[in-house]
Chains A and B, each alone.
Chain A
Amino acid sequence: MMTAALRLTGIDMHYGYVRALTGIDFHVQPGEVVGLLGDNGAGKSTLLKIMSGAHRPSGGTVEVHGRKVELHEPSDAARAGVQMVYQDLALVDAQDIATNLNIGREILRRGPLGWLGFVDHKAMRRRSEAELDRLGVRTAPMTRPVEMLSGGQRQVVALARSAIRVAGAGQGVLLLDEPTAALGYEQTKQVEALIRRMAAEGVAIVLVTHNLPLCHEVADRVVILNRGVKVADVRLDETENDHIVGWITGARPSQFVTRQEIS
């Protein structure tokens, strides 16, 4: 069996006295899309933040491609090839698409101008266009300011910004928190296509969402949390929608024997 792109073992998380997560085991393979489901407050975002290095778990281990890592901050995760797309996109509105995609990884001009820090706008635009083509994404012209894009286009730019960096890191991991929350029907379809395409490229994808149809459309497997405990981990083609809803609401008993029941 392949080593998991990302594997979490026995993750505990406390916020003061609040127990947000208890003993979570989780993994995602390269090229796999895992839907992370659960009701409000189930701990999905918390788990995602641990994967992205935004939070440190109170207990448990994180492995990236079989290597144990300590993620102290998001840049550690980024270096290990894990990128997160936040719900609040965080784009630089006044700048154009090319700048948003290239910031932090600029191409400098050759020669003396490059030594002075002059960037090669044309080369960066060309590279971004090639990268977006590879992802199968067409947004607007590269020189369009982000503030002039529609919600769907902005979402795609934010996704692409992370996807490009993940692709640059070889087989990376992409974490998505509600990527279609603000999108209409057609734009959701476009984001679905983008997710599938990145998975086809070998990117491991974790998708937090309340949108079950989206999950059915793009995910291979779902992991369901209920009040900070993992209650199900199933392939979508081996289960049915009613069961998933049952696990989410807590109406259906956990697939796993919980610790309390043992003791």
Chain B
Amino acid sequence: MTAAVPATEAAVPAGRDMPRAVTLLVFARDRGIFILWGAIILAFSFWCAPYFATLDNAMLVANAAAITAIFAAGVGIGVMTGVLDLSLPGTAAFAACVVGWLMTHGQPTWLSLTVGLLAGAVVGLVNGLIALRGFNPIIVTIGTLSALSGLAAVIAGGYTFPGLRSLQFMGTDRYVGVPAPVYIVAVLFLAGFLFLTRTRDGIRLMAVGGNAEAARRSGIHSERYRVLGFVISGLCAALGGLVSTAVTTEATPEASPGIIFNALTAVALAGVALTGGRGSLPRVLVGALILATIANGLTIRGVQPYWATVLTGVLLLGSLGLERVIQRSVSNRLMATANLSVHSGKA
């Protein structure tokens, strides 16, 4: 009954290592998008030679991907933490108009930019606090989307803020030949990646996205982290709005829904599960780069731009199907080995 347990016997034997096939499948699932991007680049390099595979063109692609990438970071971090924030275009327009207003009213650039970013964070905070009251985040953020684009128009008085030339340093200027937005994206993704994988709050954020109940039982205030997800998403949206403004040197109150579609496409291509808790920022970045690469390559060949949209759609559906297949076969294989170890143990 109370028989002593032999001290050396492990309660669970060290599982034999995962079968090779599973390791490979998991690799394909996690790194597949990098391979896909490589394949696309390779294909275009031949098909669009000699114009595609040049340093100048690489800069063009990177720059074209930059703004989508910033918004995709917001959507991606939101989705990973269990939040789908549709208010992004509204937040972007609102932050841009706040900056435009401040700058045309004689405020220094740094102050205007800081306030613009803060505005994004506040929008995220409000979104988060409303969603915490048990309202569906999608509906809440659709509401704030509409409210914010209206507010942006109010700030702009029905017009736009043109001629914001002092923002060029983060828009069209190049440093060592590389456009400014590319640096911003690099810093943003590096910081986001380190935050989500290396820091306490980032790891908790991912855990809350994956299983809020599990996090709660480990003594974590899930709600705070959910709000933090909204705040980060709002910050990214504001940053996206500011960079767009800097590139065009004009702040417009127009909240273009295309922003959210592009960002969502990049995020979905990156295999970020909409159920939360899963995904990685580097893959989201590559997702945005794939969109830009396809558009660029097809433009070089003079293909109509709508074919780029068709192609991305097909890629997206294909990647969904592939992921399903991989997931199935991983769990089948794992199931087989689990049964094996139980039965062989009994003999």
Binding site for B on A (CB under 8 A): 74-75, 78, 86, 90-95, 99-100, 103-106, 108, 116-119, 121, 135-141, 144, 148-153, 156, 161, 184-187, 190-191, 193-194, 196-197, 200, 216-217, 219-220, 236-237
Q: Mark B194-211, 1 if CB is under 8 A from A, else 0.
A: 100011111110110011
A141 and B18 alpha carbons, distance in the complex (Å): 10
A197 and B11 contact, Cβ closer than 8 Å, known pairs A78-B219, A90-B214, A92-B277: yes
Q: Look across to chain B and name the residue whose beta carbon is closest to the beta carbon of A220.
A: B2
**Nearest Cβ in chain B — how far from A258, in angstroms?**
30
A103 and B218 contact, CB distance less than 8 A: yes
- In the assembled complex, B4 has its CB within 8 A of some CB on chain A: yes
**Nearest Cβ in chain B — how far from A41, in angstroms?**
24
Other than the given A144-B18, A190-B12, A196-B5, 6 more pairs (CB < 8 A) read A136-B9, A137-B11, A150-B15, A185-B342, A200-B5, A217-B1
A119 and B342 contact, Cβ closer than 8 Å, known pairs A104-B218, A140-B14, A200-B5: no
Interface size class of B (residues with CB under 8 A): 35 or more
Binding site for A on B (CB under 8 A): 1-5, 7, 9-15, 17-18, 22, 26, 194, 198-204, 206-207, 210-211, 213-215, 217-220, 277-278, 330, 334, 338, 341-342, 345-346
B217 and A95 contact, CB distance less than 8 A: no
A231 and B19 alpha carbons, distance in the complex (Å): 51
B207 and A92 contact, CB distance less than 8 A: yes
Q: Which residues of A contact B278 (CB under 8 A)?
A: 94
A94 and B272 alpha carbons, distance in the complex (Å): 12
B203 and A103 contact, CB distance less than 8 A: yes
A152 and B278 alpha carbons, distance in the complex (Å): 23
Q: Contact partner of B1 among A116, A117, A191, A236, CB < 8 A?
A: A236
A103 and B215 contact, Cβ closer than 8 Å, known pairs A92-B210, A117-B200: yes
B199 and A117 contact, CB distance less than 8 A: yes
Q: Which residues of B contact A237 (CB under 8 A)?
A: 1
A92 and B215 contact, Cβ closer than 8 Å, known pairs A106-B203, A108-B200: yes
A186 and B346 contact, CB distance less than 8 A: yes
B198 and A91 contact, CB distance less than 8 A: no
**Nearest Cβ in chain B — how far from A86, in angstroms?**
7
Q: List 23 A-B contacts (CB under 8 A).
A: A90-B217, A94-B206, A94-B210, A99-B203, A100-B214, A103-B207, A103-B214, A103-B218, A104-B219, A108-B200, A136-B9, A136-B10, A139-B15, A148-B18, A150-B15, A150-B334, A150-B338, A152-B338, A161-B218, A196-B2, A196-B4, A197-B5, A236-B1
